[in-house]
Structure 1
C-alpha cells in the first residue's frame, strides 16, 4: 500500500448545521483552490450537527475526493472542532475557514502568495465589518482593547481564525496541551514571521450566526482568563485598598473619640450599605477566583478535547463501495 500523498494546502472548516450552505460554499471554494495549481484537501469537521450536514458532505465527496470528513461524536464547540480539523490536516500549510462564506475563499491566492514569499503566518484582517451590528462591532472592539491591555500577547483586532499557517506553525500549535483553547490567542502567542491581507467582510449568505451573546460572553471570559492573570491578581490590590481605607477610617474614629470626644452612633442605613458593598466585592473576587479554579479543574482531569466518531476520506469511501 502506497503512503498517502501530502497535499500542499489543507482547508479546515468547522461545521454545525450547515447543510443549506454546502453547495454555495464548495461552488466558490473548489474553483479557487484548483486555480492555484496546488494539491489540496478540504477537512470538514462536523461538530454535532442535527441536520443532514454529514450526508451532504458524503455526497459531495463522491464528486470531489479532496474532501475529508471528520465526524465528531457530539457538539464540542467551535474551538474544539477547529483543533480537531487542524490535527487531521496533512497539508504543508493549513487555512481555517468559516462555512458561512463570511471568510471569502477568493483571497486564498493572495495568502498563498505571501506564504511563497517567506511568510510563515498570513492573517486575514477585516478592513470593514459593516455587515455586523453596531453593538457587535463595539463589543468586539472593546474585547480586543481589554485583552490586549491585560495580556502580554497582542491579538490583532478584527482578525478571526481565517489565516494561513505553515506546517512548522501548525506543529507548534498542536504541541500546546491546554484544553480551554482560545485559538486566536494561541495563534498570536506562537509568533513566527507574519504578514497581513485585508478584506471586506461580506454578509452571511444563508442561515444565522450560531454565536448568541451569551456564548460570546463565555468566549471572551475564556480568552481573558487564558492569557492574563490580571483579573485574579487585581483582587490583591482591591483588598489592600479596602484595608488601607479601614485603617484610615479607624484612625479618624479613634482621633475623634479620644481627642475631640465626639462619638458617633452609626445608623442602620450606613451600616447596611457598608456590609452589602463589602459583601459584593468579596463575592465578586471569589467569582473571579472560581473562574480560574474551574479551568485548573478541567485541565487536571485530562479528558480529550473532542471525540471522533469517524474520519471519512475518499479512499476509505472507495474501499467501502
Structure 2
C-alpha cells in the first residue's frame, strides 16, 4: 500500500507560477543571428601553395604572376599562396616581390642570406609552405601555369603526387637534351631506385607526401631523387616544355655536371662497386699477361717486352687508380659535409610568412650543400 506524503509548496515558487511571463522585446531577439547550418556553410576551402625559387629574375616576376593569377582564379574551392624564395639575388628581384605583396597578400617572400643553390632554396620554400598541396615550379614559365588546374583535379581524385612529364624538349639545345637523356639512362642503370626520364621538379605534392619528403634530412639534396624515393600514389601529366619567356638559364654545363654527380652519389653506391669489379678484371688480365710472357720465354725463348709496353701498363694502372680514388673521394667528401650538420639554408627575411626572422635565429632543421 503506497503512502503519499504531503507536498509542501514554497510560497515564492507558487507566486512565480501564478505570475504571467513578461514578453521580451522583439528587437532583442532580432539582434542575435542564428548560426549557419553546416549545409549552408559549404565545404572548407583547400589551399594550394606555389613554391618558386628565384635568382636574379626581376623581369620574370610580373609575367609569371599575371599568368598564374588568371589560372588560379579559375579553380573553384581553392585559396592559394605564392612563396618566392630569393636565393641571394643581386638585382631588384626582392623589391619586385615586395611590391607584388602590397598588391596581393597571397604573394610571399622568403629571402635567404646568400646563394645556397636551387635545391636548398626549393627545400626552404617547401618548409615554409602552408597549403594542403604544394607545387614547386620555375618562374621562367617553362613550367606552364595552365597545368595547375589539371594537377588539382587529379589531386582531388586521390593522387598524392601529380608530376609534369616533358614530351618535347625542343626549347633545349641538342647538347642539353642529349646529356639529359644520358643522365637518366645512367642513373636508372646505377641506382636501385628509378626516376622517370624527362620529369623535373614541376609537380603537385599532397600534404602527406610533402611531410614525408621533408623527413629526408641529407645536406646534399637531389630533389628529383628525393621525390621519387618517398613514393605515394603518383600520376604523370604530359606537356610540351616551351622556351623561357624572360631571361636566361642560371645553370651552366659545369653546374649540370655537378648536379648529375650529386644525383648519382646520393642514391647509388654502384660507382664504388664498379671499381672493385674493374680492379678484379685488371688483376685477372695482368695475371694472364704475365703467364703468357713466362710461357713465351720458357718455350720459345722470346725476349720479354721492353720499356714501351711496361710504361703503357704502368700508366693504365695509374689512371685506373686515380679514377677510383677520385670516386672514393666524392663519397668521403659527402660524408664529411653530412657530418658537420650545418643547416641547408639561412633565412634573412620573411614577408607574408610570419614576419622577418634574423639569420641567427633560423632553426637548422634541414639543409643544403653549403660549402
TM-score, normalised by the number of residues in structure 2: 0.81
Question: Which residue does the alignment assign to 1:126?
Answer: 166
1:311 aligns with 2:350: yes
Deviation at 1:254, TM superposition (A): 2.8
**1:52 shift after superposition:** 0.5
- Which structure's relative contact order is higher, taking Cα pairs within 8 Å and 6+ residues apart? 1
- Of 217, 230, 255, the match for 1:177: 217
Match of 1:216?
Answer: 256
Displacement, 1:134?
A: 1.2
1:1-321 alignment to 2 at 5 Å? 8-37=47-76, 38-258=78-298, 260=299, 262-313=301-352, 316=355
CA RMSD of aligned residues (A): 1.6
Stretch moving more, 204-213 or 241-250: 241-250
Which one has a larger percent helix, Structure 1 or Structure 2? 1
Unaligned runs of 5+ in 1: none
Q: Distance in 1 between matches of 2:127 and 2:260?
A: 24
Deviations 1:28-50 (A, max 9, x none): 01121122131111110000001
- Measure the CA separation in 2 of the matches of 1:115 and 1:7: 11
Judge conservation of contact 2:128–2:353 (CA < 8 Å) in 1.
Answer: no
* CA–CA distance in structure 1, aligned partners of residues 223 and 89 of structure 2: 22
Give secondary structure in 1 for the equivalent of 2:175. Answer: helix
Q: TM-score w.r.t. structure 1 length?
A: 0.94
Deviations 1:105-129 (A, max 9, x none): 0110000000000101001111111
> How far apart are the structure 1 equivalents of 2:346 and 2:353?
21
